């Protein structure tokens, strides 16, 4: 299990280095600064290529509980062996993709799994939901004196739907991962705080976090990546626990 998580994180490290010239990696108080890449031009070209990929292999779907509904796209492994179980990677989008077109949420974090080398080396289910409203809203954490995030009923619907999805697909329940950028990063922290039992690991990129249940997350590998010069989502929320 530990080896599988490390392999998953290793792949995401490469992508996150593309996203920010200066980032901070924090693990409950332990901080590592990663300074500008010498190969930024190549990184930008790689991101542009990923954005250009055709996402038609992500099938459209919708979760509903009779009151709320949530559209999503999902990628399946190229070849599913019936005797095997596969990881599920849940990707949360930023605020710019809020809507109902079931398309705008298909950014780099989702499309990177379409790369032939990733599909071959990391066969997985990839779930990209689209929230019709903000998936996380921010408020002042009076105790820590920093911004914090809180989710809504649409995240609750998604978490319950993941349980059903895992029962109906060849999904390995011990390898359900979650990742997100900006508002999606905040939603990552809300998701693992709500259901620490559900996720094997989490990656929050530039999101406002809410860690008010730290004791529940001690066994969950969490990677926080935040640009030190971010003026939209200040990194202090990920530095003060």
Q: pLDDT by residue (tens digit) across 63-86?
A: 999 999 999 999 999 999 999 999
- Residue percentage of the chain with pLDDT more than 70: 74
Alpha-carbon distance values, 11 to 52, 122, 217 (Å): 20, 9, 22
Token digits for 38? 């010498």
Q: Which residue has the higher pLDDT, 101 or 6?
A: 101
- Count Cβ atoms within 10 A of the Cβ of residue 11 and give its class: 0-12 exposed, 13-18 middle, 19 or more buried: middle
Q: Three-class SS of residue 92?
A: strand
What does the pLDDT read at residue 177? 97
Q: Three-class SS of residue 146?
A: strand
Token digits for 147? 């911004």
Q: Which residue has the higher pLDDT, 203 or 12?
A: 203
> Does residue 101 register a pLDDT over 70?
yes
CATH assignment at residue 142: 3.40.50.1820
Radius of gyration of the chain (CA): 17
Mean pLDDT across 89-103: 97
> Does residue 90 register a pLDDT over 60?
yes
User: Model confidence over 151-176: pLDDT tens digits?
Assistant: 899 999 999 999 999 999 999 999 99
Q: How far apart are CA 88 and CA 217, in angstroms?
A: 19
Q: How far apart are CA 183 and CA 205, in angstroms?
A: 9
CB neighbour list of residue 97: distance below 8 Å, 6 or more residues apart: 104, 105, 107, 130
What does the pLDDT read at residue 11? 52
* Secondary structure percentages of the chain, helix, strand, coil, to 5: 35, 30, 35
Q: Which domain holds residue 95?
A: 2-238
Mean pLDDT across 32-58: 79
CB atoms within 10 A of CB 133: 11
What does the pLDDT read at residue 31? 57
Total domains in the chain come to 1
What does the pLDDT read at residue 147? 74
Q: How far apart are CA 63 and CA 89, in angstroms?
A: 17
The position carrying tokens 């332990």 is 30
What does the pLDDT read at residue 240? 54
Q: How far apart are CA 161 and CA 127, in angstroms?
A: 11
> Does residue 22 register a pLDDT over 80?
no
Q: Are strands 222-227 and 23-27 parallel, antiparallel or unpaired?
A: antiparallel
User: Model confidence over 183-213: pLDDT tens digits?
Assistant: 999 999 899 989 999 999 999 887 777 766 5
Look at residues 146, 105, 145 and name the one whose alpha carbon lies nearest to residue 126.
105
Q: What single DSSP character describes residue 96?
A: G
> Across all residues in the chain, what is the average pLDDT?
82
Q: How far apart are CA 69 and CA 100, in angstroms?
A: 10
> Does residue 5 register a pLDDT over 80?
no
What does the pLDDT read at residue 219? 80
Contact 93, 131 (CB under 8 A): yes
> Does residue 230 register a pLDDT over 70?
no
What does the pLDDT read at residue 26? 46
């Amino acid at each position: 299990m530990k080896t599988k998580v490390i392999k998953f994180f290793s792949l995401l490290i490469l992508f996150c280095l593309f996203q920010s010239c200066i980032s901070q990696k924090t693990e409950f108080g332990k901080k590592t600064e990663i300074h500008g890449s010498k190969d930024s031009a190549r990184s930008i070209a790689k991101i542009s290529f990923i954005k250009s990929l055709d996402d038609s292999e992500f099938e459209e779907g919708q979760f509903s509980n009779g009151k709320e509904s949530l559209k999503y796209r999902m990628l399946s492994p190229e070849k599913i062996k019936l005797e095997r179980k596969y990881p599920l990677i849940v990707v949360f989008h930023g605020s710019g993709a809020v809507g109902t077109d079931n398309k705008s949420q298909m950014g780099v974090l989702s499309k990177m799994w379409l790369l032939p080398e990733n599909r071959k080396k990391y066969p997985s289910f990839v779930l990209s939901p689209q929230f019709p409203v903000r998936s996380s809203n921010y408020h002042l954490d009076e105790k820590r004196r920093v911004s914090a995030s809180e989710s809504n009923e649409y995240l609750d619907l998604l978490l319950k739907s993941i349980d059903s999805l895992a029962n109906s697909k060849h999904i390995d329940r011990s390898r359900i991962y979650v990742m997100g950028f900006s508002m999606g990063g905040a939603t990552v922290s809300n998701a693992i705080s709500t259901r620490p039992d559900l996720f094997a690991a989490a990656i929050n990129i530039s999101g406002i976090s809410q860690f008010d249940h730290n004791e529940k997350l001690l066994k969950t590998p969490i990677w926080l990546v935040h640009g030190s010069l971010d003026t939209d989502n200040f990194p202090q929320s990920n530095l003060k626990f």
